[in-house]
Amino acid sequence: MAQRKGKRITRRRALKAGAQGLALTSAIGIAPKYLISPARATGLASGMTGGPTGFDGAERFQYNEGMSEGRAVEAAKKLKADGKAGKITFLLTQGAVGQFEQPFPDGAPTVRSVWEAETGIPVEIIPAGEVEIIPKVMQDITTGSGTYDIFTGPWNAVGDKVDANGIVNLDEFVAKHRPDWGDSERGTPTPEMENLLYKYNGSYYTISIDGDFQTWVYRKDLFEDSDNIKQFEDTYGWTLGHPRTWKEVDQIAEFFHGKGVPQCNLIGPFWGLAIFYARFAGQDNPNFYYFDEEGNPNLDTDLGIKALEEHVNLKNYSARDALSWSWAEAYGAMGQAEGLMMSTYTNLRKFNDRYNADGTPATPATGKLGSFLPPGNTFGDDLIRRSCLYYNINAEISAQSEHAEAAYLFMQWASSTRTFSWMSGNPGGYFDPFQKANFAEPLVQQTYHADHCAIIEETIARSAPTINFAGQGAFDTKLDEQIQAALVGDKTPAEAMKKAAKDWRRIIKKRGETRMIDNMNKSRANWPAIIDKA
């Protein structure tokens, strides 16, 4: 245990980063008493029956039978007593294991150990790389081997797993154990988001443990530099600041690209889809859907082609190798303070805008990053700002699990607002906050920065879904290829979109038109409704 010490986020370090955090925290209305809470003795707060202990603020993550976590624990204990619960095998994406296995903060137990201690049901975590997880899950489902009780994987793949009969419909469990996922005070920022993150085709199937809402991060130091502001105003006639439209994003990108600072948006295969979907969704008021009501792809419409033209234009201001970059390169460039801005997973600032245990800046970008709301398009007085939900690790219960209910209860416990707030503050993994309670949590604000949290919450409210119907992999791959063909200049945007639409029609036909159209129209209810003032 001793050797782990250097790795924990120490209180000392947290306080150093906290001065600015404190001011912002108060500004957005979090009771500051949490931050100055007295050192507590270990043990549960009064009225609480479970939860982590042993560190400052642990009481914020404790619960009793009246709360989602407590209900899960009590029900699990009962299952265990009835002999209906055994070891839970948990296939987990590699990058998130730390959040279950690494103590946070100092003196805290691990998330897994709290569950095991309270319920007596052991959890075995089997890590798998992100690229391997779909092959592993499909291997398990199609061979009927039932190795895992819980799958994790991209939210987008939920439709595939439902159609493969690989996962359990959770409606019954949800009704019985009442998780607080959609709680108006503590749960998802909007009711649409609960439907989006947990339901498929109207039923509960999947449990969100991540918040991959693409959020813009930029170089505050460059935007606030007085020379830059002046020069920019002379050139473009408006004051350099948070862009509101894609056009303004392009102007800012053009300006700084001329100064040798490129945008870091990922535009290569897979990664580039997210920003394209976000741009696409904001092409119409209130939303530009991927399909019309008869199930025809909107890709090759005028607006769809315009979206791709704009997307291709992005390349002009991006880093030279952007087409081949992955996460490592883009995060690296932002972290080395060599990039301008990017729309990406929210943990960019968690990892790059932080201090080492000894108080020194962890990267050259520490303290230089800010966030802004997704840009959009204006329609008269309306401004449609759109981001999107892309990838996002969700958990599902395997249809072959012998202890489906116990496995579900573990996930309900881990994904409920108290446990998840505790977990998402932990820098040891990449599960990002997305619940109201997470953003209000001081530990999360320390890791993610309070100003960033406020922006993320607003970004979530403006996020469109990406594709998660059965056949998602095929939809995304076919579109991605055409986008790439347009980016490298092999095809014009119009040609590319035409081919992508053709490919999409073929997939729809193959998967069954009636069913697909039903899925599409049902998913429309999950699109954001927020309209900003232009």
Partner 1 sequence: MMAGNRISFEVMRYTFIIAALAIFLIPIVWMTTLAFKPVAEWTTAISEITWLPKNPTLGNFEFIFTGQTDELIITMPNTATMPIIASLVIASLGTLIAVVVGTLGAYGVSRFQVGNNLPLSVLQLRLFPPMAVMIPVMMMWSYLALVDTFWGLSLIYGIVTLPFSFWLMKTFFDEVPREIEEAALVEGCSQWRVFYRVTLPMVKAPLATTVLFVFILNWSDYVIALLLTRKDWVTIPVYMNSLNSAMTGEMYGSKAAIGLIAAIPPVVLGIIIQKHLVRGLTFGALKQ
Partner 2 sequence: MASNPQTLTLAQQGAKLGRWMTLPTQLLLVFIFAFPGLMIIYVSLSWWGPLEGVPWYYAYESLNWFENYIYLFEDERLWGSIWRTLLIMLVVVPVEFFLGLGLAILFVDNFTGKRVFYSILLMPMMIVPAVAGYMFYILFQSNGPVNQLLSLITGFEIDILWLSETDNAFVAIMIADIWQWTPLMFLILLAGLLGVPEDQLKAATLLGANWGQKFLRIALPKMRIVMIIALVIRAVEAFKLFDVMYVMTKGGPGVATETISVYVYKVTFMELEWSYVSAIGFAILMFLTALGAIGIIILSNAQKKRLANVVD
Q: Which residues contact 33 (CB under 8 A, 6 or more apart)?
A: none
The torsion defined by the Cα of 103, 107, 111 and 114, in degrees rounded to 10, comes to 150
Cα–Cα distance for residue pair 157/139, rounded to 1 Å: 14
Taking CB under 8 A as the binding criterion, the range among 23-31, 226-234, 478-486, 525-533 that sits at the site for partner 2 is 478-486
Taking CB under 8 A as the binding criterion, the range among 42-50, 125-133, 181-189, 301-309 that sits at the site for partner 1 is 125-133
Sole binder of partner 2 in the list 193, 487, 497, 520 (CB under 8 A) = 487
- When the beta carbons of 55 and 469 are compared against partner 2, the nearer one is 469
With H, G, I as helix, E, B as strand and everything else as coil, classify residue 396.
Answer: strand
The contact mask relative to partner 1 for 263-302 (x = CB under 8 A, - = no) is ----------------------------------------
Site membership for partner 1, residue 42 (CB under 8 A):
no
Q: Which residues contact 398 (CB under 8 A, 6 or more apart)?
A: 140, 141, 146, 148, 149, 150, 151, 166, 167, 168, 404, 407
Q: Which of 391, 327, 338 is nearest to 369 (CA)?
A: 338
Q: Which of 432, 310, 410, 331 is nearest to 76 (CA)?
A: 410
Can you say how many angstroms the Cα of residue 360 is from the centroid of all Cα atoms in its chain? Answer: 28
Site membership for partner 2, residue 129 (CB under 8 A):
no
Cα–Cα distance for residue pair 80/63, rounded to 1 Å: 20
Sole binder of partner 2 in the list 476, 500, 516, 528 (CB under 8 A) = 476
DSSP states of 125-180: EEEE-HHHHHHHHHHHHHHT----SEEEEEGGGHHHHHHTT-B---HHHHHHH---
Site membership for partner 2, residue 141 (CB under 8 A):
yes
Sole binder of partner 2 in the list 18, 182, 286, 473 (CB under 8 A) = 473
Sole binder of partner 1 in the list 20, 26, 42, 139 (CB under 8 A) = 139
Sole binder of partner 2 in the list 236, 270, 327, 379 (CB under 8 A) = 270
Taking CB under 8 A as the binding criterion, the range among 66-74, 343-351, 460-468, 470-478 that sits at the site for partner 2 is 470-478
- When the beta carbons of 367 and 473 are compared against partner 2, the nearer one is 473
Sole binder of partner 2 in the list 164, 229, 454, 494 (CB under 8 A) = 164
Sites for partner 1 among residues 69-98 (CB under 8 A): 94-98
Q: Which of 61, 57, 55 is nearest to 42 (CA)?
A: 55
Size of the site for partner 2 (CB under 8 A): 35
Q: Which residues contact 73 (CB under 8 A, 6 or more apart)?
A: 49, 50, 63, 115, 118, 119, 409, 413
Cα–Cα distance for residue pair 120/99, rounded to 1 Å: 20
Sites for partner 2 among residues 312-331 (CB under 8 A): 320-324, 329
Taking CB under 8 A as the binding criterion, the range among 135-143, 354-362, 365-373, 460-468 that sits at the site for partner 2 is 135-143
What is residue 306's DSSP assignment?
H
Site membership for partner 1, residue 43 (CB under 8 A):
no
Cα–Cα distance for residue pair 317/326, rounded to 1 Å: 17
**Residue 119 binds: one of partner 2, partner 1, none (C-beta under 5 to 8 A by kind):** none
Q: Which residue has the tokens 């707030």?
A: 421
**Number of Cβ atoms within 10 Å of the Cβ of 433:** 29
Cα–Cα distance for residue pair 33/468, rounded to 1 Å: 42
Sole binder of partner 2 in the list 15, 134, 357, 530 (CB under 8 A) = 134
Tokens of 121: 């049901």
Size of the site for partner 1 (CB under 8 A): 48
Cα–Cα distance for residue pair 331/347, rounded to 1 Å: 10
Tokens of 458: 């607003």
Q: Cβ of residue 164: shortest distance to partner 2, in angstroms? A: 5
Q: Cβ of residue 337: shortest distance to partner 2, in angstroms? A: 16
Sole binder of partner 1 in the list 135, 191, 202, 241 (CB under 8 A) = 135
Asked if residues 69 and 416 have their Cβ atoms less than 8 Å apart, the reply is yes
Sole binder of partner 1 in the list 248, 329, 495, 532 (CB under 8 A) = 329
Cα–Cα distance for residue pair 259/272, rounded to 1 Å: 24
**Residue 481 binds: one of partner 1, partner 2, none (C-beta under 5 to 8 A by kind):** partner 2
Sole binder of partner 1 in the list 106, 163, 338, 481 (CB under 8 A) = 338
Q: Cβ of residue 392: shortest distance to partner 2, in angstroms? A: 17
Sole binder of partner 2 in the list 26, 145, 165, 235 (CB under 8 A) = 165
Taking CB under 8 A as the binding criterion, the range among 86-94, 250-258, 356-364, 475-483 that sits at the site for partner 2 is 475-483
Q: Cβ of residue 7: shortest distance to partner 2, in angstroms? A: 25
**Number of Cβ atoms within 10 Å of the Cβ of 261:** 21
Sole binder of partner 1 in the list 142, 184, 235, 360 (CB under 8 A) = 142
Q: Which residues contact partner 1 by CB under 8 A?
A: 3-4, 6-7, 9, 94-98, 101-102, 125-132, 135-136, 139, 142-145, 147, 319, 321, 325-333, 336, 338, 347, 351, 363, 427-430
Binding residues for partner 2, rule: CB under 8 A, are 134-135, 138, 141-142, 144, 160, 163-166, 268-270, 320-324, 329, 470-471, 473-474, 476-478, 481, 484-485, 487-488, 490, 510-511
